[in-house]
């Protein structure tokens, strides 16, 4: 619920970032002002601006003091599609609407001012929808080639049978 408008979607693609992972901003417990939200308890948000253009939305997953998080890369729009189209300045719903971290954040109205929030309040929240048919695959992460051997870790997870998946550049 952002700006009084409710938008929602099913998460279809994520990437994991851990403290012993060179691709993570908090590698080896490096602590900076930007990454401070990652040191909160699991269930908080961590949003930051990348390349000066795109907002990336993460969910903090570990206990307080252990900075680990999951990057939400793509969603399938379910509620408020019209709002997402308007935010993205698009006319028709297509996979480009909300696949890819930057596109997804823009469609959901997420910006860096929402970093450090609890995901148990009425602004952003995540619901568990039981669906026994989910098929999930994994692969190396995208866009972290600078992380040396950690770039090969298969920490990208996505639904096998969906079009809402970003493609490597």
Partner DNA sequence: GCAATGATTTACT
Partner DNA sequence: GTAAATCATTGCC
Site for DNA, rule CB under 7 A: 15, 17, 23-26, 30, 32-35, 38, 46, 48-54, 56, 58, 69, 71, 96, 100-104, 112, 142-144, 146, 166, 169
Give the residue among 29, 64, 65, 59 at the shortest CA–CA distance from 47: 59
Would you give the distance in Å from CA 142 to the centre of its chain?
Answer: 13
What is the DSSP secondary-structure string of 13-77?
EEEEE-TT-TTSTTGGG---TTTGGGGSPTTBEEEEEETTTEEEEEEE-S-TT---EEEEEEEEE
Query: CB 17 → DNA: shortest distance, Å?
Result: 4
Which one, 12 or 103, has the nearer CB to DNA?
Answer: 103
Q: Position of tokens 């709002």?
A: 83
Q: Name which of 6 and 96 has its Cβ closer to DNA.
A: 96
Q: How far is the CB of 110 from DNA (least distance, A)?
A: 12
Q: Which residues partner with 9 through β-bridges?
A: 77
Cβ at position 150, least distance to DNA in Å:
11
135: left (phi over 0), alpha (psi -120 to 50) or beta: beta
What size, in residues, is the chain? 169
Decide whether 94 or 132 has the Cβ nearer to DNA: 94
Residues 117, 125: Cα–Cα separation, whole Å: 10
**Shortest gap between Cβ of 21 and DNA (angstroms)?**
9
User: Quick one: 4 or 168, whose CB is closer to DNA?
Assistant: 168
Q: Which is nearer to DNA, 47 or 131 (CB)?
A: 47
Cα of 56 vs its chain's centroid, Å: 6
Query: What's the min distance (Å) between Cβ of 140 and DNA?
Result: 12
């Amino acid at each position: 619920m952002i700006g009084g408008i409710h938008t929602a979607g099913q998460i279809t693609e994520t990437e994991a970032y851990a403290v012993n992972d060179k691709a993570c901003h908090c590698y080896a417990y490096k602590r900076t002002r930007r990454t401070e939200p990652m040191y909160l308890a699991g269930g908080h948000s961590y949003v930051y601006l990348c390349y000066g253009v795109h907002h990336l939305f993460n969910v903090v997953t570990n206990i307080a003091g252990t900075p680990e998080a999951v990057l939400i890369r793509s969603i399938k729009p379910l509620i408020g599609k019209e709002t997402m189209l308007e935010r993205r300045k698009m006319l028709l719903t297509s996979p480009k609407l909300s696949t890819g971290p930057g596109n997804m954040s823009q469609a959901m109205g997420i910006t860096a001012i929402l970093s450090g929030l609890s995901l148990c309040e009425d602004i952003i929240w995540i619901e568990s929808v039981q669906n026994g048919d989910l098929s999930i695959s994994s692969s190396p992460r995208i866009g972290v080639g600078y992380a040396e051997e950690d770039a090969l870790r298969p920490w990208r997870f996505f639904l096998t049978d969906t079009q809402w998946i970003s493609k490597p550049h």
